Structure 1
């Protein structure tokens, strides 16, 4: 029973499948790029100790997505399980840029991915 309830709670929204669907779209909202990386030990400890955000003890991976529209662009970050499930469709952190400046969005995306790979994302961007 507990296993089934845990699965329902942690997989309410699958952010990884959403990013893949948005990447393959031809029209409308389209994901420029996404990355799915494991959470490092330091980031996991900082995420667990942070009291201002909900409990993300289930999270084992980061999902980072980059979107560009005509009016504004976004870089979104989700904590996920290893299959891409998360408790909410709202990102943990979001960077918003005015206008469709794809170079700025992709540079911020690459910086965040590099920080996640070096296990220092929550220290630098948190």
Structure 2
């Protein structure tokens, strides 16, 4: 349990260090102004940031992070699921892949003609 907490802390620190890197940090104000629908001048005003603008920027940033996280979590979960399915059906998929390779080889040699491999479609 403690090792897992250290792992999460390490990942969070790595993310923070990459965020604070010289090639990312200068991009933050323009991204925030774009996400919040404000101008850079409104974000850097000497009087301070208006409460409505601040709320809009924070809310847009939170939803951006949630959407971004959702997409990558879904991609990771689906890749894991596909990997499990491939592992379960590994023998059958190996046989099918071998059969396809043999058929393509015979087609390449001209022994077997596969009509849909001989067609060409072009879009003008």
TM over 0.5: no
Task: Determine which structure has the larger strand proportion and give its number.
Answer: 1
**TM-score normalised to structure 2 length:** 0.25
Q: Which has the higher contact order (CA 8 A, sep 6+)?
A: 1
The TM-score, its normalising length taken from structure 1, stands at 0.25
